[in-house]
Amino acid sequence: MGLPYQVGAETLRRNPQQWAAYDSEGHCVVLAGPGSGKTKVLTLKLARLVAEEVAPPRGVACLTYNNECVKELVRRLGDLGVRNTGRIFVGTVHSFCLRAIVLPYGRLAGLRLPEKLEIASAAQATEVFGEALRSTVGTDEKEESWRKVCATHRRTVLDRHSSDWLGLDPRPAKVIERYESLLRDRGLIDFEDMVLLGLHLVEAHPWVRKILRARFPVLVVDEYQDLGLPLHRLVLSLCFGTEPGCRLFAVGDYDQSIYSFTGAEPDLLVKLASDDRVERIQLKLNYRSGSRIVEASEIALGEQRGYEAANGDGGSIEFYRCKEGLRHQADVVCKTLIPKVLENGAARNLGEIAVLYRDKSLGDVAAQAASAAGLDFVRSDANAPYRCTPFTTWLEQAAAWCAGGWRNGVPSLGELLSAWKAFNGTLGSDTAMLTTRRALVRFLFANRDTTLVLRAWLERLHDSCLRPTFERESLTAEDARHFKGILALCGAGRAFDGWSVARFGDQLGSPSHLNLMTLHSAKGLEFDVVFMMGLDQGIIPGYREMTPLSKKEPRRLFYVGLTRARNEVHLLCSGWRDSPYGRKDDGPSEFLMEVFNSTRPAQ
């Protein structure tokens, strides 16, 4: 028996394309369809790189799109015995740029950054932008419209000395410059700053590139299609410059690009994969979904990609028209269909079921129905009780450890301590870090109790560990706000009133909790059974998405939802939707109808 990753790698030999990706030695781009095992290949490759190819103290950086993706990668790597330590960075592009580039090298390179730098909260960013807009353009402007224009300009025109920066209308550039100046005056940066400043440092300073290449000789990028132009230029600078560069291992799928509103440009993945310096590998076997689901997904996509189900025939797609509206759809799912799929074995447990929808307002409807049906659930959308961040994920992991994870090492104590070290980044001595780590260990061992009330657990954690960190570390200001919000939810009559520490730990994902999430949040995940609700024209595609071009991304979003399922997909519509102007009888989603007309009649 070998190491866990070696045992896992042997299973890749049955698929020549998977093995070729695992065994690649130079720059490699893996174009991976849904269910093709791309996360398995990526994590096994990462484990091999750390164990065999990159000698300490050098390491590997693995970048992905959002914190949900990070959580899944860290979980999978943990199963292989790989921990998120100093040698391996697993995080978002934003966190990599901030922690590996801007913080250590920004002031050395002459950037105007205060010693104690804070990340602007959404409220702070909104306030500062409003001030910048009023002082630059005037008071009679629509702030929301200007914010969208400036955000697009900021992330797409990266060369500020070019004529494109001022363009035909210089006002957006002037607003952006004033906004950034005001942020600096307050000792703040925002999320776009993290990537833009990181890119500037890498492109402008050869010594920064040299340090990063020495520290991370291999750069792994997941979900490349969603990461946008700044990341693409960062990759080009680090991996394909005139000097010897990082080795690149990138994974992506053009058809699953669903974040154009944040600057995603899937054509950049196509461009990268066509580069002669890169080995291109395509994964076409779907190990997740039954053949009927795979066939239906290509119909939904409107493109023939030649994907095949690895496990032969199987899978089912069911259609339901709930004429009384969204609440009717949610009630049918929670009161009738979920008990049915649990009883017939289509879903092994509640945690293997997902209810997917397009936006947070539909999530409210689903959450109300689940509560009324007595179903425990984990919710991932903008109306969830709290955001998924590295800190809130760590908090859930600490709770899970105290609630019994200490018995089997899931999560591991080492993983908790490694993340804790990152939160305490300004401690200047090994002695101070050791003291902080010991305080956390003492807390964790003293609070191993599944029945402990969450509020008491949080208060003890704050008093023994978090308070000094929040007071000392300026970059944890947002984390402190999240912690305060979670603690407030434990109050009388609030969402977490009476919760135990075990129940909070279950928010990481539990066999006893239903998954409620947006289609965006579901990307990268898989379930035995998927319910997709709100599939009405005007919702998906949206009522503003009327042209063939504007329908491309919602079509891909629908495709992502379909391909999350292993065994069954249940598609629900009403044929109408509510709007600010009353009921709109626009019929079921055209995407649903294309699948319906190609499969079988509705029930």
Question: Which one of 186, 204, 231 terminates a domain?
Answer: 186
Give pLDDT, residue 84.
63
Q: Which residue has the higher pLDDT, 66 or 99?
A: 99
164 with 122, same domain?
yes
For residues 127-153, average pLDDT:
91
- Per-residue pLDDT of 356-371, as tens digits, reads 999 999 999 999 999 9
- Spacing of C-alpha 423 from chain mean position: 20
For residues 299-306, average pLDDT:
91
Do 301 and 556 touch, CB atoms closer than 8 A?
yes
Give pLDDT, residue 599.
80
Domain of residue 520 covers 291-383+511-599
523 with 501, same domain?
no
Two tokens, residue 48: 């091999």
Question: Which one of 135, 161, 186 terminates a domain?
Answer: 186
528 with 542, same domain?
yes
Q: Which residues of 299-326 are buried (b: 16+ CB within 10 A; e: fewer)?
A: bbbeeebebebbeeeebbbebbbbeebb
Compute, in degrees rounded to 10, the torsion defined by CA atoms 83, 86, 87, 90: 60
Question: Hunting for tokens 């990138």 — which residue is that?
Answer: 250
- Per-residue pLDDT of 3-43, as tens digits, reads 899 999 999 999 999 999 999 999 999 999 999 999 999 99
Do 277 and 240 touch, CB atoms closer than 8 A?
yes
| CATH number of residue 529's parent domain | 3.40.50.300
Q: Alpha-carbon distance 496 to 491, whole Å?
A: 7
Which pLDDT band holds residue 510 (cuts at 50, 70, 90)?
confident
Three state DSSP letters for 278-312: CEEEEECEECCCCHHHHHHHHHHHCCCCCCEECCC
Which pLDDT band holds residue 229 (cuts at 50, 70, 90)?
very high
39 with 152, same domain?
no
Residue 523 maps to a domain: yes
- Per-residue pLDDT of 575-595, as tens digits, reads 999 998 899 999 999 999 999
Domain count, the chain: 4
Q: Alpha-carbon distance 58 to 389, whole Å?
A: 27
Q: Which of 456, 523, 490, 438 lies closest to 71, judged by CA?
A: 523
Residue 139 has pLDDT above 90, yes or no: no
427 with 481, same domain?
yes
Using alpha carbons, list the distances in angstroms from residue 245 to 232, 242, 425, 513.
15, 8, 28, 45
**577-579 vs 527-532, strand pairing mode:** unpaired
Question: Hunting for tokens 């499969």 — which residue is that?
Answer: 599
Residue 346 has pLDDT above 70, yes or no: yes
21 with 93, same domain?
yes
Give pLDDT, residue 602.
46
Two tokens, residue 577: 């939707």
Those residues whose C-beta lies under 8 Å from the C-beta of residue 108, and which sit 6 or more positions away, are: none
For residues 554-566, average pLDDT:
97
496 with 394, same domain?
yes
Give pLDDT, residue 86.
73
- Per-residue pLDDT of 154-199, as tens digits, reads 999 999 999 999 998 999 999 999 999 999 999 999 999 999 999 9
Residue 17 maps to a domain: yes
Give pLDDT, residue 600.
66
Residue 278 maps to a domain: yes
Question: Which one of 480, 505, 530 terminates a domain?
Answer: 505
For the entire predicted model, the pTM comes to 0.89
Those residues whose C-beta lies under 8 Å from the C-beta of residue 474, and which sit 6 or more positions away, are: 116, 117, 118, 187
421 with 492, same domain?
yes
63 with 125, same domain?
no
Those residues whose C-beta lies under 8 Å from the C-beta of residue 297, and which sit 6 or more positions away, are: 34, 289, 307, 559, 562, 563
Residue 63 maps to a domain: yes
Which pLDDT band holds residue 567 (cuts at 50, 70, 90)?
very high
Give pLDDT, residue 603.
47
How many Cβ atoms are within 10 Å of 148's Cβ, its own excluded? 12
Give pLDDT, residue 548.
93
Q: What is the residue-averaged pLDDT of the chain?
A: 93
- Per-residue pLDDT of 78-129, as tens digits, reads 888 887 667 899 999 999 999 999 999 999 999 988 888 899 998 999 999 9
Range picked from 238-242, 336-340, 415-419 for highest mean pLDDT: 336-340
Residue 109 maps to a domain: no
Question: How many percent of the chain have pLDDT more than 70?
Answer: 99
Residue 61 has pLDDT above 70, yes or no: yes
Residue 255 maps to a domain: yes
358 with 450, same domain?
no
- Per-residue pLDDT of 217-227, as tens digits, reads 999 999 999 98
Give pLDDT, residue 2.
82
> What residues are paired with 29 via a beta bridge?
250, 280
Using alpha carbons, list the distances in angstroms from residue 324 to 81, 84, 209, 568, 587.
50, 48, 59, 24, 13
Give pLDDT, residue 67.
84
Give pLDDT, residue 348.
96
11 with 92, same domain?
yes
The amino acid at residue 2 is G
229 with 277, same domain?
yes
Question: Hunting for tokens 């998924």 — which residue is that?
Answer: 388
Residue 110 maps to a domain: no
Residue 111 maps to a domain: no
Q: Alpha-carbon distance 73 to 525, whole Å?
A: 11
Q: Which residue has the higher pLDDT, 329 or 243?
A: 329
- Per-residue pLDDT of 372-414, as tens digits, reads 999 999 999 999 999 888 899 999 999 999 999 999 888 889 8
Euclidean distance between the first and the last CA atom of the chain, given in angstroms as a whole number: 51
- Per-residue pLDDT of 282-291, as tens digits, reads 999 999 999 9
